[in-house]
Structure 1
């Protein structure tokens, strides 16, 4: 009793010593805990944050420092990956031509090892870069459905631009087509009344739908950091027609008043597919459906014989995300960058590479490869925009040409073309979030005709951009340099 009274009488002194003790303990524990199985840059950034203010930094690390799904969900991932390997056996493999470079053959083997899917031949692929036209074409494809429509978008909302898309879904559902819809919980829910309008419409027509990666921290029996997201964009009709790329199902200004005031709108690239590769998209959708619904879809409806095999493109789907052991998309990009001999053309709205990717691009430019990077002149995300700017000096000094897509458009397309030999297109940005935290879908495509289509798209983007020079960049205000570098440090905290 006397001790407790003494504590009450001297609470300021006791509180000071207690705070100091906790401060020291947190610093020591973080030195052991943080560097474990973590990139050096990320570990240093977290340690700096914790050492600066342990009482705040350490709890943040416990919430956001683990880029891993809960154990129960990882077990699901292993089961699904094994199932994908088993089911993908029914998708015919395509042999690469003999004159294809050996590095491309090794990329195909790498993708098969990482993501389970084979290289398929006899595929058709068309590109669409007009925002509203892509939605109209998707709606038209949906209306041809006879049995199933599978829809997965990071962001989905019912607004004046997407209403025909949702009208198409409800029309086919009402005539007996099975429609399954997935959307990222945070990516869609954050759009308020347009999200609620969408869910009400889907419910009214008895369309089965689920939010992906719902923000329920202990849903799978262990804490899951809230910013692990499903960023994929996929749509499959009857297992015969597939769409994928960078575009979400929402108006081009994302229904945000701030974007409308600034005149911001998004520029996208989508690819429409026919042929055996559509079954790979269907299998990938089925994995996410299983995660959220616990329903395993029938293989007979997922892997179907393609009705159109007139195409000449070789395609391979590459999934990635926190459910995989390795960073599939990063490994593929780096493999291609290090083996490029003539050209690299990279389009990414959020370019925050890790050390390995930055080194791969700089090395390629230094050894004579023509490297072009397409990014936006302005940004919609302060931290990422300024973090990516911090890499421009090193890239420009190495000889990389940087094209700034003119404001007020945000270039949101995501694709890479290597040596006029292969393209990777999909939902994956070239940033640490896409490598570690987001579930992504990429498509590797080979074929001379498709490369010509990609060059036409890149020519359009180049015509709408201005080239950033090293001289111009070195003259930017010092305060902007400081902000860029500070944001680069913060972006490493993953």
Structure 2
């Protein structure tokens, strides 16, 4: 044989060895669909596939960050012992105690009573509500958002931070480090906060030369405000103008529709616990005096039970994925889901298809348009199976991006927060959701969903099957990318 033949044989043997090693290594503790996708990528495009796997193949944060999460979780487990009694389990549906236990075991925070909540569906109105709350702060304000930009829309909050600092209130602010690079006035925003007297830190900064290397697309996607441990805000909204300063967004007239929630009561200390964990992860400063024990007091049967559920790659489990799947599987009559990006784990898809096949009233609210080409087409590939199972899908009309993230289950269980129903939020992003048991709160959530339904167009199976072939091709091709995690 010629030298060229021997070289070809050597390359083939090396390729086979790489494929074998990849199969053994990648398959460990990874979902089969994800493992197969990565192995095929390495087999068919070995050099590029290996490079991408090294860059984005690990879906967990570095061990030192996971250790910090575990340390803080153990502290909060200890400090909240017995608080499961400070709620109304006698009023819960028979399946809810196991959900509460699941969340407690995974996220370390209990279900607590004596809470009130107000839904804030107006974009500028929610920003003004947060600014008004900051204006009454006496001791401290914690602010954490995936995206935080000082612009005309968010100016009320920036001004309120300045007034709080002048009063001697301690203000600590977090925002995602990499996300900030996508928007204008990044340096100006952080400089302004520091000049006003606030302490600012970026979340999940990339520091490859300081032993802090991680998968670069992991993000802290949480949104929260805490004022003196008594007032809290959570939801889907980032602190930025509603077109996100995107040139194409402005040209298309796109604007984002959100849902925030103002909360008072003991669950605010759980929101604070999530901020405390993230601040500790970035600074080594553990704010335990402010994050101390949750005190409930005498139970008021007219107020709601609530439980915060943090999730993300700092945990050993996909906390929100398990919560969503379990809620869908336990629903008895009705499920309503709102998610701007629906690219689900197969567990979620199967649970929804099964719920529809069980005869439940299942509906999914999505946007008719999107700002993300790949996600937009990937999510559409899941619609046919849902529609065949009887799931009703409603598309919120352009030019609005329906960016709210919430669920309602049966008549009295609701979940609201920052997590999309997609693989990124279910596995790769730091997220937070609040689970609520309260008929009145669920009714108010349903009024929001009723407004979505009235404004939306329902997608019907017969029409969906007739969409252009080009769209079907894009939908199916983009679906293939969802398992590369």
When normalised by structure 2's length, the TM-score is 0.95
Question: Could you tell me how far apart the structure 1 residues matched to 2:17 and 2:120 are?
Answer: 56
* Count of aligned pairs: 483
Q: Which of these residues, 355, 362, 371, is aligned with residue 346 of structure 2?
A: 355
Deviation, 1:206, is: 2.8
- Are residues 106 and 90 of structure 1, via their aligned partners in 2, closer, same or farther at CA, if it must alter by over 3 Å? closer
Residue in structure 1 matched with residue 407 of structure 2 by the alignment: 416
CA contact (8 A) 2:377 2:479 kept: yes
Residue in structure 2 matched with residue 252 of structure 1 by the alignment: 242
Q: Which of these residues, 173, 180, 185, is aligned with residue 172 of structure 2?
A: 180
Deviation, 1:94, is: 2.6
Q: Which of these residues, 452, 455, 468, is aligned with residue 446 of structure 2?
A: 455
Q: Which of these residues, 26, 31, 44, is aligned with residue 34 of structure 1?
A: 26
Deviation, 1:379, is: 1.1
Q: Which moved more, 1:147-156 or 1:459-468?
A: 459-468
CA contact (8 A) 1:23 1:55 kept: no
SS of aligned partner of 1:62: helix
Question: Could you tell me how far apart the structure 1 residues matched to 2:470 and 2:15 are?
Answer: 33
CA contact (8 A) 1:416 1:425 kept: yes
Residue in structure 2 matched with residue 147 of structure 1 by the alignment: 139
Question: Could you tell me how far apart the structure 1 residues matched to 2:208 and 2:476 are?
Answer: 32
SS of aligned partner of 1:254: coil
Alignment of 1:271-286 (within 5 A): 271-286=261-276
Residue in structure 1 matched with residue 219 of structure 2 by the alignment: 229
Question: Could you tell me how far apart the structure 2 residues matched to 1:178 and 1:336 are?
Answer: 38
Cα shift readout 1:274-302 (whole Å, capped 9, x = no counterpart): 01111111111100000001101133554
Question: Could you tell me how far apart the structure 2 residues matched to 1:466 and 1:301 are?
Answer: 45
- Are residues 236 and 90 of structure 1, via their aligned partners in 2, closer, same or farther at CA, if it must alter by over 3 Å? farther
Deviation, 1:478, is: 1.6
**Cα RMSD for the two superposed structures:** 2.1
CA contact (8 A) 2:79 2:292 kept: no
CA contact (8 A) 1:91 1:303 kept: no
Q: Which of these residues, 113, 121, 127, is aligned with residue 121 of structure 1?
A: 113
Deviation, 1:73, is: 1.5
Alignment of 1:95-244 (within 5 A): 95-191=87-183, 193-217=184-208, 219=210, 221=211, 223-244=213-234
2:385 pairs with 1:394: yes
Question: Could you tell me how far apart the structure 2 residues matched to 1:169 and 1:397 are?
Answer: 51
- Are residues 162 and 308 of structure 1, via their aligned partners in 2, closer, same or farther at CA, if it must alter by over 3 Å? farther
Residue in structure 2 matched with residue 7 of structure 1 by the alignment: none
Deviation, 1:90, is: 8.0
Q: Which moved more, 1:370-379 or 1:85-94?
A: 85-94
- Are residues 341 and 301 of structure 1, via their aligned partners in 2, closer, same or farther at CA, if it must alter by over 3 Å? closer
Deviation, 1:462, is: 0.9
Q: Which of these residues, 309, 331, 339, is aligned with residue 322 of structure 2?
A: 331
Deviation, 1:200, is: 1.3
SS of aligned partner of 1:34: helix
Question: Could you tell me how far apart the structure 2 residues matched to 1:388 and 1:340 are?
Answer: 23
Q: Structure 1, unaligned stretches of length 5 or more?
A: 1-9
Cα shift readout 1:393-451 (whole Å, capped 9, x = no counterpart): 00000000000000111110000000012001000111111111111000001111101
Q: Which of these residues, 414, 428, 433, is aligned with residue 437 of structure 1?
A: 428
Question: Could you tell me how far apart the structure 2 residues matched to 1:308 and 1:216 are?
Answer: 48
Residue in structure 1 matched with residue 71 of structure 2 by the alignment: 79
CA contact (8 A) 1:246 1:269 kept: yes
